[in-house]
Amino acid sequence: MHTVLVLGGYGFFGARICTSLATQPNLRLLVAGRNAQRARTAARSLGLAADQGTAVDARAAGLAGQLRSLGVNTVVHTAGPFQGQSYEVAQAAIAADCNYIDLADGREFVVGIRSLDAQARGRGVTVVSGASSVPALSSAVVDRYRSDYARLDTIRVGISSGARAPGVATVRGVFSYCGKPVRCWQAGSWTTAYGWLGLTRHRFPAPVGARWLGTCNVPDLELFPQRYGAAREVSFQAGFASTAGHFVVWSLAHLVKAGLLGSAAVFAAPLHRVSRWIEPLVSGNGGMFVSLAGIGASGGPLARTWYLIAGHNHGPQIPCAPAIALAVKLSRGAQLPAGALPCMGLLSVEDILAPLQALDIREVVR
């Protein structure tokens, strides 16, 4: 039995990861968070023993000892926001000889995970950051098509959510850079964009249709120019299914950029509540795209856009899939490289889509 502890296991994404992992053979699942009662209730609702729900605080000094005494082999860390978070969970996992997987979308956090490489190698464990939509799925898509290009000029990634609002940790994370400078590789040099500004309209395949998008500060902006040698541009934009909601965030970004508001973070919790209330009024469809353009192997221009389209509010399963795929691989005895790295090159698109097969989620390539 391979024991996987999901930290934040009754949170928005953690609960979905636990639901999937609870059905895996040879995997003992522990649902963890700071609230023992909620953890036990979540475990029971998955058909697990009540003691498979347990109180674990990511900030506790004795975390490594607790992981050891629980017999954990792999920690899945979903207790964000990761923007500004230290590496104490990953360090505790390494000290307890556990593998570590997180869902981080914080640019500095994911890029900086390499600082733990020597420690992780020393203990023979795998430490992976960003096992989620970015950079795991976005990079898997670029990996799939990269060899078709003699020269890659632009990589554009975008996500538009459906109605179902994620947890407050996600909202706090994305509001942390609202209106703040974002370093971007544009027109062949590093320039400054601003979080949730740079308004563009993107037409997704039906049933998603046209959506507004704005700039987000994600690990891909730092990792992709180097990994793929994109000559001109790497961009990442995201948007909300609710047009009104998108323009509220865009307006806050303008106020922060103009210096009239110090940070939009204070609005994260109230707007998160509002987004829950308006869910029934908003489209349950969402999508992700990865657009590549450059010179193809034959010497002519080549442009391709890969889409993942989700209906029936199934979109929130997508950010969970890379962490699920990695935890399942580890539970089946797969040998992942020892060391600490952003989640790139470990999973193919097919690996990531495998846990999503029964859902209303489909690929479209144009």
- Shortest gap between Cβ of 168 and ligand NAP (angstroms)? 4
Which residues make beta-bridge pairs with 194?
181
Using the rule CB under 6 A, is 204 a contact of ligand NAP?
A: no
Residue of the chain from 19, 35, 45, 305 that contacts ligand NAP (CB under 6 A): 35
Phi, psi of 298 (to 5 degrees): -80, -5
CB of 130 within 8 A of CB of 136? yes
Using the minimum distance from each CB to ligand NAP, give the nearer residue, 7 or 155: 7
Q: Which of 31, 33, 184, 214 binds ligand NAP (CB under 6 A)?
A: 33
| Closest distance of CB 12 from ligand NAP, Å | 3
User: Smallest gap, in angstroms, from Cβ of residue 77 to ligand NAP?
Assistant: 9
Is 46 among the residues that bind ligand NAP (CB under 6 A)?
no
Q: Is 313 a residue that touches ligand NAP (CB under 6 A)? A: no
Q: Roughly what angle, to the nearest 10 degrees, separates helices 268-277 and 243-257? A: 170
Q: How far apart are CA 266 and CA 222, in angstroms?
A: 27
Nearest CA to 124 among 359, 360, 336?
336
What is the DSSP code (8-state) at residue 163? Answer: S
Binding map of ligand NAP across residues 236-255, x = CB under 6 A, - = no contact: --------------------
Q: Quote the least distance from Cβ 335 to ligand NAP, whole Å.
A: 25
- The single residue among 53, 319, 339, 342 that binds ligand NAP, judged by CB under 6 A, is 319
Cα(24)–Cα(6) distance, rounded to whole angstroms? 14
Copy the structure tokens of residue 350: 């097919």
Does 331 interact with ligand NAP (rule: CB under 6 A)? no
Task: Decide if residue 273 touches ligand NAP (CB under 6 A).
Answer: no
What CA dihedral angle connects 326, 331, 333 and 339, to 10 degrees?
50
Place of tokens 């930290």: 7
User: For residue 215, which amino acid is it?
Assistant: T
Q: Contact between 58 and ligand NAP (CB under 6 A)?
A: yes
**Number of C-alpha atoms within 13 angstroms, CB side, residue 175?**
27
Nearest distance, CB of residue 305 and ligand NAP, angstroms: 19
- Sign of CA pseudo-dihedral 273, 274, 276, 277: positive
Amino acid at 105: D
List, in order, residues 6 or more apart from 344 with CB less than 8 Å away: 130, 135, 136, 139, 140, 143, 223, 227
Question: In angstroms, what is the minimal distance from the CB of 70 to ligand NAP?
Answer: 14
Per rule CB under 6 A, count of chain residues that contact ligand NAP: 34
The nearest distance, CB 56 to ligand NAP, in angstroms, is 6
Residues 77-96 that bind ligand NAP (CB under 6 A): 78-82
Which member of 7, 31, 253, 302 binds ligand NAP (CB under 6 A)?
7
301 Cα distance to chain centroid: 31
Q: How far apart are CA 38 and CA 163, in angstroms?
A: 25
Q: Pick the stretch among 3-11, 196-204, 225-233, 333-341 that binds ligand NAP (CB under 6 A).
A: 3-11
Interaction residues for ligand NAP, span 143-182 (CB under 6 A): 166-170, 173
Q: How far apart are CA 175 and CA 206, in angstroms?
A: 29
Binders of ligand NAP in range 93-132 (CB under 6 A): 103-105, 130, 132
Which residues of the chain form contacts with ligand NAP (CB under 6 A)?
A: 7-8, 10-14, 33-35, 38, 56-59, 78-82, 103-105, 130, 132-134, 166-170, 173, 319
